[in-house]
């Protein structure tokens, strides 16, 4: 609430000016987020965010680049293809969180030219994909990279992605199942996500809900309705399923599968 | 009765999320009015699984829940309020009508608005004097028409479900108002930006006739 109230006090001009100045790092960081949040697509906003992507001044105690992270996230939301090349360069950047933000942004920009560089992040396979000693993250942002490859329809990456289903970090494993389902349409990958709905970890169940809704795996309807999570999230997931079903069965009379999904949604209101 | 007391103690003594869920499920199954205060308390815990079980249990107990819940609603806990609204919606007792009308039209949380909109369609009208019921259905229709313009798709979805059920009651009592539900559902079929809403409204109209 406070963030939102504060956010509305900025104007586009002010946000761009805040991002351009070099004295107050907090203002710059916030302005980058703001431009993404409010979808400011003006050329000057894009140009300033692209400059922020090269920023050297704002450094976190761990050596990371907070402003670059926020700038990358914002550029993903703005849908301007000029950001594709600079974001691809970010995938090779030493700061893990910049690479992660860049992979997520590239997923949103719907441009396949980043696929080879995303695939490079998976090099070495599961054997190389351990934790960085002393850090809470893996060597690469595997989850974000795999999800991006799935969304971008990178079928050439399937042999690289499939082994990650066996990755010991469940989020990575489910990202791989989700991407494999998107790329192959094979039910066995959808079933892996259904099994995730039965797991003990609420966060993972939530993320499986979002995955199933995003890929529209129709047979998951009942498992979604029954998993232990908020009804709001189940409804969003079922909405995704119903949309997929309506797209493949657009005729006047509703299919049995559609009616079944509608009844599940009704029961969760 | 000792058994219910033991079941209540099990809920109070649960020391893990899973343990709580199981204890609440057992207590809910007993369907005892003695369980009401404990089940209502569970609505305030941040444990969606246990809350679902508590809501089911409270709905199964039915009308005795309504006065207690109206008196003990935690106004400052959005989660608890959403679950309580689901209980009122499930029981369909007209004593909760004012609360549901207010919630559907103006609650801050979309999960509260959606539960209220659905509940407004399933009020047990036979609990009211016929004269009162006629006026109450007018107010419900007005509120559901408003909710069908909500900015959140899920609230519009719930409003469609509410309108479908209200229409069934209106056809036999106030046919001129029933026509308004049909008109609004047709508008949604023709103009809602979400395919899911257009589809749900189509399904409602085909079931209304």
pLDDT digits (tens, 9 = 90+) for A2-40: 455 555 578 999 999 999 998 899 999 999 999 999 999
Asked if B111's CB is within 8 angstroms of A243's CB, the reply is no
Asked if A239's CB is within 8 angstroms of B199's CB, the reply is no
Q: Does A269 touch chain B (CB under 8 A)?
A: yes
**What whole-number distance in Å separates Cα of residue B28 and Cα of residue B56?**
7
Helix (H, G, I), strand (E, B) or coil at B24: helix
Average pLDDT over residues B97-104: 94
Contact between residue A10 and residue A34 where contact means Cβ atoms under 8 Å apart? yes
Asked if A265's CB is within 8 angstroms of B157's CB, the reply is yes
Contact between residue B106 and residue B142 where contact means Cβ atoms under 8 Å apart? no
pLDDT range class, residue A92, cuts 50, 70, 90? very high
Helix (H, G, I), strand (E, B) or coil at A138: strand
Task: Name which of A200, A230, A269 is nearest B114 (Cβ-Cβ).
Answer: A269
The predicted structure's pLDDT at residue A61: 85
Average pLDDT of chain B is 92
Give the lowest-confidence range in B59-63, B78-82, B84-88: B78-82
Give the lowest-confidence range in A92-106, B66-80, B153-167, B176-190: B66-80
Helix (H, G, I), strand (E, B) or coil at A190: helix
Tokens at A229, concatenated: 């999570």
Contact between residue B186 and residue B164 where contact means Cβ atoms under 8 Å apart? no
Q: Is B107 left (phi over 0), alpha (psi -120 to 50) or beta?
A: beta
Contact between residue A221 and residue A264 where contact means Cβ atoms under 8 Å apart? yes
Return the exposure string of A188-213: e unless at least 16 CB atoms fall within 10 Å of the residue's CB, then b: ebbbbbbebbeeeebebbbbbbebbb
Task: Name which of B18, B21, B158 is nearest A269 (Cβ-Cβ).
Answer: B158
Q: Cα angle vertex A155, ends A149, A161, to 5°? A: 60
Asked if B52's CB is within 8 angstroms of A262's CB, the reply is no
Q: State the distance between the two ends of chain B, measured CA to CA, in whole angstroms.
A: 48
Contact between residue B61 and residue B35 where contact means Cβ atoms under 8 Å apart? yes
Task: Name which of A228, A239, A258 is nearest B49 (Cβ-Cβ).
Answer: A228
For CA atoms A209, A212, A216, A217, the dihedral sign is negative
Q: In this predicted model, which residue has the larger pLDDT, B2 or A216?
A: A216
User: pLDDT (tens digit, 9 = 90+) per residue, A44-78?
Assistant: 999 999 999 998 888 988 888 999 999 999 999 99
Shortest distance between the Cα of A23 and any Cα of chain B, in A, equals 39
User: pLDDT (tens digit, 9 = 90+) per residue, A124-133?
Assistant: 999 999 999 9
Identify the closest residue of chain A to B118 by CA–CA distance.
A269
pLDDT range class, residue B79, cuts 50, 70, 90? confident
Identify the closest residue of chain A to B113 by CA–CA distance.
A269
> What stretch of H or E contains B14?
none
**What whole-number distance in Å separates Cα of residue A161 and Cα of residue A151?**
13
Asked if A266's CB is within 8 angstroms of B161's CB, the reply is yes
For chain A, the farthest-separated pair of C-alpha atoms sits apart, in whole angstroms, at 62
The predicted structure's pLDDT at residue A3: 52
Q: Which of B186, B99, B104 is nearest to B142 (CA)?
A: B104
Q: Does A231 touch chain B (CB under 8 A)?
A: yes
> Judging by beta carbons within 10 Å of its beta carbon (0-12, 13-18, 19+), is residue A11 exposed, middle or buried?
exposed
**What whole-number distance in Å separates Cα of residue B176 and Cα of residue B162?**
17
Return the exposure string of B172-182: e unless at least 16 CB atoms fall within 10 Å of the residue's CB, then b: eebeebbebbb
Q: Does A198 touch chain B (CB under 8 A)?
A: no
Tokens at A256, concatenated: 């049995």
What are the φ and ψ backbone dihedral angles of A9, each rounded to 5 degrees?
-80, -20
pLDDT range class, residue A251, cuts 50, 70, 90? confident
User: pLDDT (tens digit, 9 = 90+) per residue, A196-236?
Assistant: 999 888 899 999 999 999 999 999 999 999 998 888 999 99
Shortest distance between the Cα of B89 and any Cα of chain A, in A, equals 10
Average pLDDT over residues A106-121: 97
Average pLDDT over residues A175-188: 97
Q: Cα angle vertex A114, ends A113, A117, to 5°? A: 130
What ipTM does the predicted assembly reach? 0.87
Average pLDDT over residues B49-67: 92
Q: Does A254 touch chain B (CB under 8 A)?
A: yes
Q: Cα angle vertex B172, ends B170, B174, to 5°? A: 50
The predicted structure's pLDDT at residue A63: 82
């Amino acid at each position: 609430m406070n963030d939102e109230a504060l956010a509305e006090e900025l104007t586009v001009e002010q946000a761009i000016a805040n991002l351009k100045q070099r004295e107050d790092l907090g203002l710059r960081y916030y302005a980058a987020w703001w431009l993404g949040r409010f979808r400011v697509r003006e050329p000057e906003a894009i140009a300033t965010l692209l400059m922020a992507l090269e920023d050297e001044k704002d450094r976190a105690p761990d050596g990371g680049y907070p402003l670059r992270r926020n700038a990358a996230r914002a550029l993903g939301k703005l849908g301007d293809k000029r950001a594709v090349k600079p974001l691809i360069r970010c995938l090779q950047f030493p700061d893990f969180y910049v690479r992660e933000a860049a992979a997520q942004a590239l997923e949103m920009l719907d441009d396949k030219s980043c696929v080879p560089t995303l695939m490079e992040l998976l090099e070495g396979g599961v054997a190389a994909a351990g934790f960085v000693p002393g850090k809470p993250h893996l060597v690469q942002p595997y989850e974000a990279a795999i999800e991006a490859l799935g969304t971008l329809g990178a079928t050439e990456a399937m042999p690289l992605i499939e082994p990650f289903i066996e990755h010991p970090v469940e989020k990575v494993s489910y990202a791989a199942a989700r991407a494999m389902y998107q790329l192959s349409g094979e039910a066995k990958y959808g079933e892996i996500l259904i099994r995730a709905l039965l797991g003990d970890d609420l966060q993972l169940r939530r993320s499986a809900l979002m995955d199933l809704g995003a890929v529209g795996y129709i047979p998951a309807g009942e498992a979604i309705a029954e998993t232990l999570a908020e009804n709001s999230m189940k409804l969003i997931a079922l909405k995704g399923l119903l949309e997929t079903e309506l797209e493949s069965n657009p005729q006047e009379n509703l299919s049995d599968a559609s009616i079944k999904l509608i009844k599940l949604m009704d029961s969760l209101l | 009765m000792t058994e219910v007391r033991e079941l209540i103690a099990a809920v109070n003594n649960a020391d893990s999320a899973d343990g709580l869920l199981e204890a609440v499920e057992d207590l809910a199954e007993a369907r005892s009015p003695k369980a009401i205060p404990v089940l209502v308390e569970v609505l305030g815990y941040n444990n969606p699984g246990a809350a679902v079980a508590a809501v089911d249990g409270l709905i199964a107990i039915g009308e005795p829940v309504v006065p207690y819940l109206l008196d003990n609603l935690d106004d400052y806990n959005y989660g608890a309020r959403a679950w309580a609204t689901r209980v009122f919606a499930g029981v369909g007792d007209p004593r909760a009508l004012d609360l549901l009308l207010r919630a559907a039209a103006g609650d801050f949380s979309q999960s509260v608005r959606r539960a209220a909109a659905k509940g407004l369609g399933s009020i047990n009208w036979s609990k009211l004097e016929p004269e009162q019921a006629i006026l109450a259905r007018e107010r419900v229709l007005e509120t559901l028409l408003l909710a069908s313009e909500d900015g959140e798709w899920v609230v519009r979805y719930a409003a469609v479900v509410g309108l479908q059920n209200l229409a069934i009651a209106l056809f036999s009592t106030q046919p001129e108002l029933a026509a308004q539900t049909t008109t609004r559902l047709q508008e949604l079929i023709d103009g809602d930006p979400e395919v899911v809403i257009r589809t749900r409204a189509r399904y409602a109209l085909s079931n209304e006739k």
